[in-house]
Amino acid sequence: MSSLRDQLSRKVYSTETGDMRKHDEADEQKAQDETRLAGLDGIVRIKRETAGRKGKGVTTLHGIPLASDELKTLMQALKKRCGSGGSLKEGVIEIQGDHRETLRAELEKRGYTVRLAGG
């Protein structure tokens, strides 16, 4: 039986070279980052959301103009600053609890334009 890595790396047809070549996951991630970054307006929006969380609130940060690796390091720094858990999902940082003002001050200190949005 082949390994999981072999199962997940599949050959994809490339129109550039006209032949089969391995599709690199890093290229795919880079392309996803480029399309996500192209749709941003440079304003970071901070929201408090409770929908689908059984009443528990989380603070979400949308529109941060960073690549996924840099976004992950920023998320870790913000979680540490708030003393709370969180995650990164599809370019959106989620921090557990209501930390809108703390995150706003921290992001403005880092040079971002920030707006509070939503409830």
* 24 band by pLDDT with thresholds 50, 70 and 90: low
β partners of residue 114: 44
DSSP code, position 115: E
Residue extents of the structural domains in the chain:
42-117
Nearest to 117 by CA among 41, 37, 59, 42: 59
Indicate the pTM of the whole model.
Answer: 0.71
When pLDDT is averaged across residues 19-29 and rounded to a whole number, the result is: 63
53 and 67 in contact (C-beta within 8 Å)? Answer: no
DSSP code, position 42: S
When pLDDT is averaged across residues 94-109 and rounded to a whole number, the result is: 93
CATH 3.30.780.10 fits 42-117, yes or no: yes
